[in-house]
Amino acid sequence: MNIAHDKQVLAVSGGVGGAKLALGLAQVLSAEQLTIVSNTADDFEHLGFSISPDLDTVMYTLAGLNNKELGWGLAGETWSCMESLAHFSDQTWFRLGDKDLATHIYRSAELQKGVSLSRVTEQLCQSLAISHRLLPMTDDRVRTMVQTDQGALAFQHYFVREQCRPVVSGFYFDGIEQAAPQSDVVALLESSSLASIIICPSNPFVSVDPLLKLAGVAAKMAANKAPVIAISPIVGGSAIKGPAAKMFAELGLACTCEGVADFYGELLDGMVIDTVDAAFQPAIEAKGIPCLVTNTVMKSLQDRAELAEQTLAFAEKLSQGATSSRAKIAVDEEVGS
């Protein structure tokens, strides 16, 4: 890939949509060049397990083990445990497959021993022969609460148990103020070797915003020379997957890629929008956010790699364009200091 071998890319991902592009990036970047940071604010405690749905979706996707029919969990999954559990318990609305359970058993037992989520994730990735680095956004407890017409709901209760039916009026992230961003993520955000920050096509409200709201993260992203580029998860007014479009509508926001641009605002140095949304390019660029218009709907493995390639090339172009002005600022600062 056309980034210098000593440069690194940070990809920000939620679940399914983000994981697709994360896999594309993993196809075109070496293990040393790519770090994926995953949302953990939709983690929850259930049936005694510590469950990290987004981390697992990215992990299983990178390992090539993800269940493509379901869009979550493991391929070739079986359900014996859940079927038996249904005899005892009404807590089977969050379906845990027999194979997937191994991940939850292992993670929960390690966390219980005091091992950090970062370290457990590293161990799981090693076991699954994942070479690229996958990090949780924090080792601390942050929990997305969805404010709805049925009261505040823990994210998985809103998302899985209630099937996203309640009308959303807002979000808050319990624990966000006490949580520290993962230390390797911080180091990367402070590093001059960062070539780009790619916000994968994940839900802005619940998959990306928790990371951005962790102490110092948005400021460090803005301060780093590496361009921040978001791929719109809204294509033609709909979300490819999940409740993002419904949330935009219920919050009274424009359910378009321009709405996504407005959500991220000044954080963005560039945006990737789908060809079906080409008409939004002038409006977004008028906000000072250059756009790459391309196919963003990743159906095949090839689509993932192509979108990754194009996004990285776009980032490179933005970096070069920015070099003169940023270099000038750097020179000015040096002169001034």
| Smaller CB separation from a second copy, 57 or 296 | 57
| Helix, strand and coil in the chain, % to nearest 5 | 45, 20, 35
Q: Is 124 exposed, middle or buried (0-12, 13-18, 19+ CB in 10 A)?
A: buried
Quote the least distance from Cβ 246 to a second copy, whole Å. Answer: 32
The count of chain residues that interact with a second copy, using the rule CB under 8 A, is 32
Strand partners, 86: none
Among 27, 71, 75, 85, binds a second copy (CB under 8 A): 85
To 5 degrees, how large is the angle CA 264–CA 267–CA 268? 80
Of the candidates 30, 24, 36, 68, the one whose C-alpha atom is nearest the C-alpha of residue 302 is 24
Distance of closest approach, residue 224 Cβ to a second copy, in angstroms: 35
Q: How, if at all, do strands 238-239 and 8-13 pair? A: unpaired
Which of the residues 127 through 146 are near a second copy (CB under 8 A)?
A: 127-128
The span of 70-78, 131-139, 260-268, 277-285 binding a second copy (CB under 8 A) equals 70-78
Neighbours of 149 (CB within 10 A): 10
Of residues 146-205, those binding a second copy (CB under 8 A): none
Q: Which of 30, 84, 169, 302 binds a second copy (CB under 8 A)?
A: 84
Q: Which residue of 34, 55, 124, 199 would you call a contact of a second copy, by CB under 8 A?
A: 124
Stretch that binds a second copy, among 80-88, 169-177, 216-224, 320-328 (CB under 8 A): 80-88
Stretch that binds a second copy, among 74-82, 213-221, 274-282, 287-295 (CB under 8 A): 74-82
Largest CA distance in the chain: 73
112 binds a second copy (CB under 8 A): yes
β pairing state of 8-13 and 34-38: parallel
- The distance of closest approach from Cβ of residue 101 to a second copy in the complex, given in angstroms and rounded to an integer, is 5
Q: Which of 108, 118, 191, 294 binds a second copy (CB under 8 A)?
A: 108
Q: What is the DSSP letter of 159?
A: I
Secondary structure in 3-state letters for 71-132 = CCCECCCCCHHHHHHCCCCCCCCCCCCHHHHHHHHHHHHHHHCCCCHHHHHHHHHHHCCCCC
For the bound state, the minimum distance from the C-beta of residue 91 to a second copy, rounded and expressed in Å, comes to 8
Return the residue of 27, 47, 253, 322 that touches a second copy, per CB under 8 A: 47
* Residue 286 lies near a second copy (rule: CB under 8 A): no
Based on the number of CB atoms within 10 Å of its own CB, is 302 exposed (0-12), middle (13-18) or buried (19 or more)? Answer: exposed
Binding interface with a second copy (CB under 8 A): 47-49, 74, 77-78, 80-85, 87-89, 91, 97-103, 105-106, 108-109, 112, 123-124, 127-128
